[in-house]
Amino acid sequence: MNASEIRQAIDELWDRQIVPQLFEYIKIPNKSPMFDADWASHGYMDQAVALMETWARAQPIVGMQLEVVRLAGRTPLIFIDIPATGAASGEDCVLLYGHLDKQPEMTGWSAHLGPWQPVLEGDRLYGRGGADDGYALFGSLAAIVALQRQGTAHARCVVLIEACEESGSYDLPYYVDHLAGRIGKPSLVVCLDSGCANYEQLWLTTSLRGLSGGNLRVQVLMEGVHSGAASGVVASSFRILRQILSRLEDERTGRILPPELHVEIPAQRIAQARASTTALGEAVYAWFPFVDGMQPMEHDLAELVLNRTWRPALSITGVDGIPPLSNAGNVLRPYTAVKLSLRLPPTLDAGLTGVFLKQLLEHDPPYGAHVSFEVEKASAGWNAPELSPWLDASVAAASQEFFGQPPAYMGEGGTIPFMGMLGEKFPGAQFLITGVLGPGSNAHGPNEFLHIPMGKRVSACVAQVLADHYHASAQGLTTGVAANPAHGQRGDHGCC
């Protein structure tokens, strides 16, 4: 593989085609089904699919077959099958994954920016979804186009782009089962939906936290009443809610209290956390937009990394039953409801955690209040298998070539449900999980941006790995079950 030609081809594709396509994609408010129940009738998801389908079909990729697969009542999926360009790899294949659905708008965007308003400032393309994860299809195909342009062989490649990831990928298992015969058994899975801790090197994701969440509601009255008449007689629904949440979380430290929600952290992941802090220093936390005087939850940098990658943590992401300040009268409100987002250790069973949370939060309600917790999502975490020697050498060479730095390894605090599912279905596969969501990119929040040079370099690294995979496959080095002793284990205090 000629790295200089790869770099040139990918830079050209990004500048002339991909960035303009992402401009148009950002304009489409194709929110994930959890955030747009009428997504099918609105048609935005179909617009995003059509945009990517049209661009992909125009690419000069030999023998490419593309189909938009639609199962009844489910979000669509783009399925691309690209034959091998050399016979030596046999039936081996690579699965490249991404998604095109988006998070909702969120408030707080700068005055000149907006979720559906693409703005290019220097190396940053602002707008919802460009980095998470609209670029994945473009970056994956750019790597293949660049390889074929110079005649470098690659194994068969299958590209899956789903439209339900931000809702927990609940449609994806049906598509994977439906397409199982056409997918085959990949020996390598490439996912471009993860993050990076800086933009100066290739970052490989070693683990992903799981997610359990839902709506907790506390009701004390059938309707609101005068606060002067009721306070001191009727318990505040907010106070009861606060009391119930203290069963789950220590409000002083943020530590999740039930031991059932913790796991034993593998020694290798602890060592990697410490190594990453050596490279990053205070950048572990400094890129967050803290208000003046605000400090991180820990002073030990490695503990901060482990907090966001291997320990459970609670966020309240929505509130109902509370009026805005401008419309808040002297009324004791009938109910308070909040949306809980509980990040879970990578090896904890997310499904059983939902059952555990429901029992924990609903039992023995104070004052006999009506307390309900409705589980809304349960997404499995993932712990990566150990890299095979060929892949370890390949990512090292790719990072050095296209970044001028060695690769780095760290867990991510977010969730990609697809990874856990693929780990179970293809236990022999190797995983290259990386992405462009780095410092300040603010996925899911206001002012989200795609760092374009990072997208180009990640695309080039994928090309390098695909080329190396072909040669490893030809030598029989990509077959066999990957070692991952930590996968599926839940430690001493697992939920099951």
Q: List the structure tokens of 373.
A: 């917790």
What's the number of CA atoms in the CB half-sphere (13 Å) around residue 273?
22
333 and 189 share a domain? no
Q: Is 458 exposed, middle or buried (0-12, 13-18, 19+ CB in 10 A)?
A: buried
361 and 321 share a domain? yes
CB 458 within 8 A of CB 452: no
Question: Is the model's pLDDT at 484 over the cut of 90?
Answer: no
**Residues with Cβ within 8 Å of residue 431, at least 6 apart in sequence:** 188, 189, 191, 384, 385, 419, 422, 423
Give the three-state DSSP class for 151. coil
147 and 214 share a domain? no
CA distances from 404 to 278, 393, 398, 401, 471 (A): 18, 15, 9, 6, 24
Reported as a single tens digit per residue, the pLDDT across 187-214 is 999 999 999 999 999 999 999 999 999 9
The residue count for the chain: 496
Which among 379, 411, 437 is the end of a domain? 379
pLDDT (mean) for 26-43: 97
**Residues with Cβ within 8 Å of residue 293, at least 6 apart in sequence:** none
Residue 235, sorted as left (phi over 0), alpha (psi -120 to 50) or beta, turns out to be: beta
87 and 161 share a domain? yes
Per the model's pLDDT, the better-predicted residue between 132 and 421 turns out to be 132
Residue 480 resides in a domain:
no
Distance CA 480, CA 385 (A): 12
Q: How confident is the model at residue 400 (pLDDT cuts 50, 70, 90)?
A: very high
Burial 101-119 (b: 16+ CB within 10 A, else e): bbbeeeeebeeebbbeebb
195 and 262 share a domain? no
Distance CA 261, CA 357 (A): 10
CB 348 within 8 A of CB 327: no
Question: Is the model's pLDDT at 492 over the cut of 80?
Answer: no
Q: How confident is the model at residue 488 (pLDDT cuts 50, 70, 90)?
A: very low
Nearest Cα neighbor of 164 from 73, 100, 96, 69 is 100
Task: Tell me which DSSP letter residue 415 carries.
Answer: -
Please tell me the predicted confidence (pLDDT) of residue 483: 42
Which among 356, 379, 402 is the end of a domain? 379
Residue 32 resides in a domain:
yes
Of all residues in the chain, what percent are helix, strand and coil, respectively (each to 5)? 40, 20, 40
> Is the whole model's pTM more than 0.95, yes or no?
no
Question: Is the model's pLDDT at 6 over the cut of 90?
Answer: yes
Reported as a single tens digit per residue, the pLDDT across 426-481 is 888 999 999 999 999 999 999 999 999 999 999 999 999 999 999 999 999 997 54
Question: Is the model's pLDDT at 24 over the cut of 60?
Answer: yes
Distance CA 75, CA 172 (A): 9
CA distances from 479 to 137, 158, 375, 467 (A): 26, 17, 39, 16
Residue 140 resides in a domain:
yes
Reported as a single tens digit per residue, the pLDDT across 234-288 is 999 999 999 999 999 999 999 999 999 999 999 999 999 998 998 899 999 998 9
Residue 232: how many CB atoms within 10 A of its CB?
9
CB 449 within 8 A of CB 440: yes
Residue 289 resides in a domain:
no
Residue 290 resides in a domain:
no
Distance CA 354, CA 427 (A): 26
Please tell me the predicted confidence (pLDDT) of residue 480: 56
CB 439 within 8 A of CB 236: no
pLDDT (mean) for 311-319: 97
Please tell me the predicted confidence (pLDDT) of residue 421: 82
Q: List the structure tokens of 96.
A: 């490249």
Question: Is the model's pLDDT at 489 over the cut of 80?
Answer: no
252 and 120 share a domain? no
Which among 345, 364, 379 is the end of a domain? 379
Identity of the residue numbered 441: S
% of the chain beyond a pLDDT of 90:
89
361 and 393 share a domain? no
Measured N-to-C along each axis, helices 19-26 and 135-149 cross at an angle, to the nearest 10 degrees, of: 160
Q: Across the chain, what does the average pLDDT equal?
A: 94
Number of domains present in the structure of the chain:
2
pLDDT (mean) for 94-102: 97
Domain that holds residue 251: 210-266+299-379
End-to-end distance of the chain based on CA atoms, in angstroms?
A: 48
253 and 309 share a domain? yes
Lowest mean pLDDT among 27-36, 349-358, 486-495: 486-495
| Residue position matching structure tokens 């390894």 | 409
Lowest mean pLDDT among 6-15, 208-217, 279-288, 417-426: 417-426
Q: List the structure tokens of 458.
A: 């990640």
Alpha helices in 311-429 (DSSP H): 350-362, 389-403, 417-425
Residue 483 resides in a domain:
no
237 and 375 share a domain? yes
Give the three-state DSSP class for 292. coil
Residue 60 resides in a domain:
yes
pLDDT (mean) for 302-316: 97
58 and 95 share a domain? yes
pLDDT (mean) for 91-109: 96
108 and 223 share a domain? no
Please tell me the predicted confidence (pLDDT) of residue 192: 95
Reported as a single tens digit per residue, the pLDDT across 369-381 is 999 999 998 988 9
Give the three-state DSSP class for 173. helix
Residue 275 resides in a domain:
no
332 and 434 share a domain? no
Task: Give the domain CATH number at 18.
Answer: 3.40.630.10
| Residue position matching structure tokens 């989200």 | 448
Q: How confident is the model at residue 496 (pLDDT cuts 50, 70, 90)?
A: very low
Task: Give the domain CATH number at 364.
Answer: 3.30.70.360
